[in-house]
Amino acid sequence: MPGLLHEKRCLPPVAGVDEAGRGPLAGPVVAAAVVLPAKGVPRGIDDSKKLPAGERARLYARLRDCAIVGVGIVEPAEIDTLNIYWATMKAMTLAVDELARALGDVPGHVLVDGNRLPRWGYAATAIVGGDAQSRSIAAASIVAKHTRDQIMIAAAESHPQYGWHSNKGYGCPAHLRALREHGPSPLHRRSFAPVAQSVLPF
């Protein structure tokens, strides 16, 4: 389980930041920033990819109750304009900006999953594999993943042919087959090759 070693080395309050949705063909990229409480941290926080959906949902609800959270969302049209890398950097920045407003101040330090940092004014450290090392980053990964999954489940109501309720916009065989049969939707990322190669217009 991720610990607090990185957090203890930093000036508090320490925020963990992670994103969800870099790879899908449809839907937004979502980032979350989380400052955990000094006491009452939920048990079981781990890299969101290691947790079943029900456990993520439980931890998401607990984190919303006990932690300070910021979320940043960048929609598909802006992903196409910026490219996915810069869209992810923007989502992270939006998440920390929202967190700072909730804190009423800037975080003392920001721990970011990955090897690159956004261009911002926050004191920050990038940690490769951070969601497996830092509890704050793991908490952010849970918030980002659950938030994005719920967005895609809701979007599946309007676009049931793509199976987003189960694939969340990733390019699984059923999604690719639906993309070929129906063409892309307004929520597809036009700059991603499988979408750009679709023969039907938007």
User: Known binding site for a divalent metal cation: residues?
Assistant: 18-19, 113
User: Given the DSSP bridges, would you call strands 124-127 and 68-74 parallel, antiparallel or unpaired?
Assistant: unpaired
- For the chain, how many residues are written? 202
Q: Are 70 and 104 in contact (CB under 8 A)?
A: no
Alpha helices (H) along the chain: 5-8, 53-66, 76-82, 84-103, 135-158, 164-167, 173-182, 193-196
* Helix, strand, or coil (residue 194): helix
Residues facing residue 73 across a β-bridge: 30
Residue ranges for the binding site?
Answer: 18-19, 113
Residues facing residue 74 across a β-bridge: 29
Angle at 42 between CA 124 and CA 71, to 5 degrees: 45
Q: How far apart are CA 64 and CA 184, in angstroms?
A: 34
Other residues' Cβ atoms within 10 Å of the Cβ of residue 1: 11
Residue type, position 186, single letter? P
